[in-house]
Amino acid sequence: MNCYFRQSWVDQRLAFEDLELDVLSLSVSTLERIWKPDTFFFNGRRSRLHKITTPNKFVRLYRTGKVLYSARMTIQANCPMNLQDFPMDTQRCPLHFGSFGYTEHDVLYRWTESRREVTISQDLELSQFDLIRTPAGERTDHNTRGNFSQLWVSFHLRRHMGNFMIQVYGPSVLLVVLSWVSFWLNREATADRISLGVTTVLTMTFLGLEARTDLPKVPYSTALDLFLWIAYGFIFASIVQVSLFAVGKNNKLPVVCALCNRVKICLPTCDRMLRGFICICRCK
């Protein structure tokens, strides 16, 4: 995440009244000679300041001793995700920051009341998510070193469905419909029906494995897994139906002929007429 991280605090020792200016723009090197909060990100992994072509930060000093410090930085933070509803999920990624060494008796962190806590750029576009909300607040972290004042902001991200509709859901539905074509083929074309079923099963297996390539290895099933298993079940059921029909076709069944009352061996595919409730066969 790229952002402009702005902090302000009041240091009475830096107040000035003799000058006519209300605001002084100071050099960045001034930060090394004045007090500044040791802010860090609690759940950050890697963060860096931008230094091209010069360090992207500025310092302004107001008449009352207020110091405004702004820096452009890139922040990488941990975001625990619950993927049970994937890909129809909404993720909440928090960002916690506060003082590393000063307790709340020394430094208190508060959001600026006159401005929004987080301002989102109007041209922000994410490839996989929509940013729908950015709630923020304050909290106190209690640990063995003392109580530390913190600020937090949560980024609510809703995943895009378009990519999965095109690459997973649409092809899966078409494969299921394609497996039903075997029901309309000629009963004697057993090899063609079996080949069609096996092809759809293999394609569905490849599609399911490809859909989970970019997913983390979670120990539970997602909504996408459930959909793929249901589609796989429909395709597998069509193959089972074709296989059972082929087995029944090749088996000879004993029946009682309604004309001579003798037990004959008949084929299930022989000609049949229904007279009342008696099946009369042309016996072999």
Distance CA 129, CA 272 (A): 62
Let me know whether 98 and 58 are in one domain.
no
| Chain-centroid distance, C-alpha 229 | 19
* Identity of residue 99: S
Statement: residue 277 has pLDDT above 70: no
- Residue 213 or residue 273, greater confidence: 213
Task: List, in sequence order, every residue forming a beta bridge with 38; answer none if it has no partner.
Answer: none
Q: What is the DSSP string of 98-159?
A: EESS--TTT------TTS-S----TT---SSEEEEE--EEEEEEEETTEEEEEEEEEEEEEE
* Identity of residue 54: T
At 107-123, the pLDDT tens digits run 999 998 877 789 998 88
Let me know whether 90 and 145 are in one domain.
yes
For residues 154-179, give the mean pLDDT: 92
Q: Give the domain range for residue 223.
A: 162-250
Total tally of structural domains belonging to the chain: 4
Check if the beta carbon of residue 251 is closer than 8 Å to that of residue 267.
no
State percent of the chain over pLDDT 70.
86
Cβ count near 191 (within 10 Å): 9
* Identity of residue 12: Q
Q: CA Rg, the chain, in Å? A: 36
For residue 116, the model assigns a pLDDT of 79
Let me know whether 47 and 85 are in one domain.
no
For residue 34, the model assigns a pLDDT of 92
DSSP-H helix ranges across 126-276 = 162-164, 170-179, 190-211, 223-250
Let me know whether 38 and 111 are in one domain.
no
What Å distances lie between residue 278 and 199, 261, 282, CA to CA? 40, 12, 13
Q: What is the pTM of this model?
A: 0.77
For residues 211-224, give the mean pLDDT: 84
CATH of the domain at 64: 2.70.170.10
DSSP 69: E
